[in-house]
Structure 1
Amino acid sequence: MRLLAPLFLAAGLLVTDCASRDNPAPKTRSDAPIPLTASFKVEDYRGKVLLLNFWATWCPPCRGELPDLVRLHRDFDAGKVAVVGISIDDRGTPEQIQTKLRQALASYQIDYPIFFDNKMELYQAFGSFQAIPTTFLLDGQGQVRKVYEGARSYADFAQDIQSLLDSKKEEG
């Protein structure tokens, strides 16, 4: 885990503005572009337990755990726990991938933040892992506490999230 710390720090420093300033009309979730990971900052989730899920639309196990991730997002207090999806889709043009991601948002009723790692920078910052889905559980200080390679169930994630929340109560 200590080896991931520099990578995690690098991931947190990936900061640029990917929002389109040329389009004055607000977009709905279904037609808005999926933000790029360049706009993702771990610091935005400081103080919260963060479940960071790397996935792809073409990956059956990834799609299989999406309902559990949606449920986790809805069941845990948003002030204490955040679920974030990072798409590492690489099959198709950026426009085709954006379309596939928007379709997944609608099909699975995903209401937690999703980012598209179009340059694989966040993937590399987190160690270029081999299995997907791969999910990182981070504590409120941004430290990686657990890495899940492969799909997991609601119960697996919920138990570990609750353990981190309980340990935070004991400390504070």
Structure 2
Amino acid sequence: MSVARLPVEVDDRESKRAKGMASPIIGFSDDDKVGTIQPHDDALVVKLRIGGYDVKRVLVDQGSAVEVMYPDLYKGLKLRPEDLTTYDSPLVSFEGKTVTPKGLIRLLIQTGLDIVEVDFIMVDAYLPYTAIVARLWLHALRAVSSTLHQKVKYLSEGQVKEVIGDQLVARQCMVSAISRRPSIEPSTIAEDNL
């Protein structure tokens, strides 16, 4: 059975109004890779305005369920222990170790003109990043991130805006993390392979 499609007349004013109301689509193309070093496997590390301060070395991790801040940021924002509220749930670090958070604090993250309120968990552990922003921040901002393109894109005022990653800083953070790892004895490696 075939279906015939009949031409439909559309009032031109309605069509223009509908087009004007359509939201832009967030997407990535090869043009978004211009200015990046390719190929790469760098993490997405950005600068954000957190708690009224410009904060460097912020890791965007869409695989993480919580926003985390480390001692450098905590001290840099001049926060006091009484600024933290209790947070009892332990976290598992990148190394698989259980970490007990020092507490939780709600802070504002400003991206362009958009401000999102986020709960950060304060962890007294070493990572080369000052903070990690995760799915909660991305979802609140209605953003999409791409490590390949080294960008976070989000809608604001009817336009697609961008936060651009810094590959040099991402690579410095990686080197710092690797250099702080405890070295493994060569005899231990040989014994494990036997």
TM bucket by the smaller chain? under 0.3
Rg comparison, structure with higher value:
2
Q: Give the TM-score normalised by the residue count of structure 2.
A: 0.23
Q: Which has the higher strand share?
A: 2
Q: Which has the higher helix share?
A: 1
